[in-house]
Amino acid sequence: MSRIGNNPISIPQGVEVNVNENVITVKGKLGELSQEFSDAVTIEIEEGTLTVKRASDSKPHKAQHGLYRALINNMIEGVSKGYTKELELVGVGYRASNQGQKLDLALGFSHNIVLELAPEVKVETISEKGKNPIVKLTSYDKQLVGQVAAKIRSFRKPEPYKGKGVKFVGEQIRRKAGKSA
């Protein structure tokens, strides 16, 4: 019995949900998202709550039941509240700046990395004296903001000896002891 799949989703004020055959569309104040779903699940909307039902108790249907419920919940939360990821640049000389949708990163390479971001993702860079630069990504699409954050982190992953690199704010890096003399 799927605990996640059986939970009903409450639809907040100002969010519109439409189901057309095998496509669900969610529209809110921040944007619009759509997702295809398989025949393994059916979606029912009544009085401000959305429930996801599965066709049978077979293993693939159970897996898709929880998956689609979670995806739809993320879509509804995204168009009403939005998602934010914050990345911290730890290292001497590591800098970040942005002009519109272009993110310019100086991560200790011989050249700066310029990343053109999707228009759905809003980027903001915070540089305070004495503190590490922070890149703040905001979007209504949870999958997209996570993918962009992972791409930025992949340019210079945090290393375990000094902790230098691009890390998520609040992320704990496992530190190793250096060579003992």
- Read off the pLDDT of residues 7-41 as tens digits, 9 standing for 90 and up: 999 999 999 999 998 999 999 999 999 999 888 88
Sorted by sequence, the CB contacts under 8 Å of residue 16 that are 6+ apart come out as 26, 27, 28
Average pLDDT over residues 89-102: 93
Ordered domains of the chain (ranges, CATH): 3-80 (3.90.930.12), 83-168 (3.90.930.12)
Would you give the distance in Å from CA 115 to the centre of its chain?
Answer: 18
Q: How many angstroms separate the Cα of 24 from the Cα of each of 34, 42, 174?
A: 6, 11, 41
pLDDT at residue number 55:
85
Indicate the pTM of the whole model.
0.89
pLDDT at residue number 181:
57
Average pLDDT over residues 86-97: 94
Of 55-64, 93-102, 148-157, 163-172, minimum mean pLDDT range: 55-64
- What's the mean pLDDT when you consider all of the chain? 92
pLDDT at residue number 120:
93
